[in-house]
Chain A
């Protein structure tokens, strides 16, 4: 049982309607891997933000592209990779919004990647060949 690794993978196309697929998939995953409702919501949010960015900004042609989500559970640690063949883009390089500004001063937008960082323990990016690989990690907790 020590260091047992379980892997699940889902392939999606670059359309926002796939967010529903992701949400349903995560609910099934939560059942199988015994993930709590609040924990699953955090995963859903992080994945929505990352996936939406890829769909909205990743592709300059009108072709259909495949986006892979890979989930890996290693004891109480969860690793998620998003793999797409869009233009090179490292979201980890963006600066966080200043959350202490007033409503008047706050810019509309720019929260997506910030939320990913906050929802997950660790986020890293690699360009591997013609793919963007965004990796996220989170220790499985009850909330």
Chain B
């Protein structure tokens, strides 16, 4: 798993590449929480290259959402591959997160 950090239209973007399983989830959590500690309020998870996620990764998505809600921030999840979207649907995460098809739509306020 690898994370790339960038910025689009005032949104901070975390691109997730590879697999988030019980082995890589701690790195994912550390990377996300460190990035968010700088007072990030508008965040996009770019999941176009996320190939696999288990409950250990889903919990980090939820932690980020909770943290941003507390700060009146905004979290968007974009570009989920169909198999990952199915896991989000099953977990009820598709209702919790603002899910967008492209980075462009996600970064449009």
Contacts and interface: CB of A to CB of B under 8 A. Distances in A.
Given A19-B22, A20-B23, A38-B83, A99 B92 contact: yes
- Say whether chain B's binding surface is mostly helix, strand, loop, or mixed: helix
A44 B52 CA distance: 9
Given A45-B52, A112-B54, A114-B91, 5 more contacts: A103-B65, A103-B66, A114-B55, A115-B54, A115-B91
B87 interface: yes
Q: Return the 7 tightest CB-CB contacts between A and B, nearest first.
A: A99-B92, A111-B55, A112-B55, A103-B65, A52-B22, A103-B96, A118-B90
Given A100-B92, A103-B96, A115-B91, A19 B63 contact: no
A19 B83 contact: no
Given A19-B22, A52-B22, A100-B92, A111 B59 contact: yes
Contacts of A104: 66, 69
Interface in B60-78: 62-63, 65-66, 69
A101 B92 CA distance: 8
B54 A103 contact: no
B15 interface: no
